[in-house]
Amino acid sequence: MTYSMEATIEATRLEEQVFQKNYNIAEELSRFQFSSTEVVLDAGCGTGVLARYLADQFNIKKIDGLDYSDLRIKQASDFSKAKAGQNIQFYQQDLSNINPEFHNKYDTVICRYVLEHTPDPIKVMKELKKTLKTNGRLIIFELDGVFINLYSQNKKFNEYMKEITKNFNFDLEIGRKLPSLLKMAGFKNVEWDAELISCKRERLREEILNTEKRFIALEPYLTQMLGSSLRYQEFAKLYLEEMAQPENTLVFTKYICSAT
């Protein structure tokens, strides 16, 4: 599994994003109940912000976090040091090939904004299925259309967007596929909901700031894709300018899925 936003600065953005209206972690988790006897896996834990939130807000017995990135595991461990007495552990693991020591261990697995980065999401789902106890549940949060759903009539902008979306190794339309993928991976009792995110007013202001930081993390990736630093800078500037135009629209959909 590869992650194209492997940058130290990305940790700050991820920590801030969970409190923004478009990605609010409290609203997302308010749909679910957790018991004090549960063992929970944060699959693709990143900086560990989800694990820490679960520890703060729910009386959960144990929380493990897995991530492919050694850097993210170190950051997650560092951030969680202040949570003395909370039972959180982080481990480096490839979610497409999880070590058997994690099999049949968890009551709940949560995978938040991770599958869009994976080349084979069904394989990852099957691996996560192995980590669940009998009748355990998988909860997935994913976005559909984020970044790519910015409508503009600017010709230069649209040329850039066509080039970039053609070569992205992210699946930015994975949300709509989740129920079908879960069934293909062998899950049962699949349930899903979708929330339309309209980036207007405060939501738009937050998304512009979030996108500015996202571009910093993506600079090496987009520079390589576009062939030069100048083209990357031109595109990033153009994208942010088009976001701010009142006649342009940016909408995306948040999918929340659960299965057993």
**CATH code (residue 139):** 3.40.50.150
Q: What is the mean pLDDT of residues 118-143?
A: 97
| % of residues, the chain, pLDDT over 90 | 82
- Looking at per-residue pLDDT, the higher value among 4 and 15 belongs to 15
Identify whether 82 is part of a domain. yes
Phi and psi of 135, rounded to 5°?
70, 15
| pLDDT higher than threshold 80 for residue 109 | yes
pLDDT at 2: 40
Identify whether 207 is part of a domain. no
Q: Can you tell me the distance from the alpha carbon of 50 to that of 31, in angstroms, rounded to the nearest whole number?
A: 15
Q: Can you tell me the distance from the alpha carbon of 101 to that of 106, in angstroms, rounded to the nearest whole number?
A: 11
Q: Can you tell me the distance from the alpha carbon of 211 to that of 148, in angstroms, rounded to the nearest whole number?
A: 12
Q: CB 36: neighbour CB atoms within 10 A?
A: 8
pLDDT at 10: 80
Length of the chain (residues): 260
Phi and psi of 99, rounded to 5°?
-60, 140
Q: Mean pLDDT across the chain, nearest whole number? A: 93
Q: What is the pLDDT of residues 34-48, one digit of tens each?
A: 998 999 999 999 999
| pLDDT higher than threshold 70 for residue 251 | yes
Identify whether 44 is part of a domain. yes
Range of the domain at 28: 8-145+170-199+251-259
Identify whether 103 is part of a domain. yes
Identify whether 245 is part of a domain. no
Identify whether 88 is part of a domain. yes
Nearest to 114 by CA among 149, 76, 143, 137: 143
pLDDT tier, 136 (very low <50, low <70, confident <90, very high otherwise): very high
Identify whether 33 is part of a domain. yes
Q: Up-side HSE of residue 135: CA atoms within 13 Å toward CB?
A: 1
| pLDDT higher than threshold 90 for residue 59 | no
Q: What is the mean pLDDT of residues 17-22?
A: 92
Q: Residue written as tokens 């405060």?
A: 202
Q: Residue written as tokens 């989740």?
A: 178
| pLDDT higher than threshold 80 for residue 81 | no
- Number of structural domains, the chain? 1
Identify whether 95 is part of a domain. yes
CA angle 33, 36, 114 (to 5 degrees): 55
| pLDDT higher than threshold 50 for residue 1 | no
- Looking at per-residue pLDDT, the higher value among 108 and 15 belongs to 108
pLDDT at 3: 43
DSSP assignment string, 147-173: TTTEE---HHHHHHHHHHHHH-SS-TT
Q: Is 70 exposed, middle or buried (0-12, 13-18, 19+ CB in 10 A)?
A: exposed
Q: What is the pLDDT of residues 205-247, one digit of tens each?
A: 999 999 999 999 899 999 999 999 999 999 999 999 999 999 9
pLDDT at 6: 55
